[in-house]
Amino acid sequence: MEITLDPELEKFIRNQVQSGQYCSLDEAINVALRLLATQTLASQGINKTPNVCGGDACVGKTRIPVWSLVSDRRLGMSDPEILAAFPTLSAVDLVNAWVYAERHLEEIESAIRENEVIMETEVE
């Protein structure tokens, strides 16, 4: 893959590497892209915060994981029922959660499986 940067951005990234802040151009660009992805998630009403709900994607500024809402939906709950169960959520929050879940299906499936294992372990 080849990427072309604006001259100002290229100079900025090279200066960051030369200052010793990053080991390589690849590392600097990867860090920048991760930051962009985090900001994009936040603008879509989804947040991932280390040490909050295991770092799972949560809706808005809540501690309600997207995987939990997807799980509720699979158990047969309708959107109005989910909104009634989580009064801090809005219909827009649910739409954001559903869009996120569609775009990050493997992540959501993995989180659901992990939490099912935890629940089974606690029951035993």
Residues 56 and 115 in one domain: yes
Q: What's the Cα-to-Cα distance from 88 to each of 15, 50, 75, rounded to whole Å?
A: 45, 22, 21
Residues 36 and 62 in one domain: no
Residues 35 and 59 in one domain: no
- 65: nearest Cα among 101, 35, 38: 101
Residues 22 and 38 in one domain: yes
Does the reported pTM lie above 0.85? no
CATH number of the domain encompassing residue 103: 1.10.10.10
Domains in the chain: how many in total?
2
Average pLDDT score over residue span 52-62? 91
CA distance 106 to 109: 5
Give 123 or 74, the one with higher predicted confidence: 74
Q: What's the Cα-to-Cα distance from 91 to each of 43, 51, 116, rounded to whole Å?
A: 16, 27, 26
Residues 68 and 89 in one domain: yes
Q: How does DSSP classify residue 65?
A: B
Q: Give the model's pLDDT for residue 50.
A: 87
Domain residue limits at 35:
1-43
Residues 86 and 106 in one domain: yes
Residues 116 and 56 in one domain: yes
Number of residues in the chain: 124
Q: Give the model's pLDDT for residue 101.
A: 95
**Up-side HSE of residue 84: CA atoms within 13 Å toward CB?**
5
Tens digit of each residue's pLDDT (9 = 90 or more) over 71-114 = 999 999 999 999 999 999 999 999 999 999 999 999 999 999 99
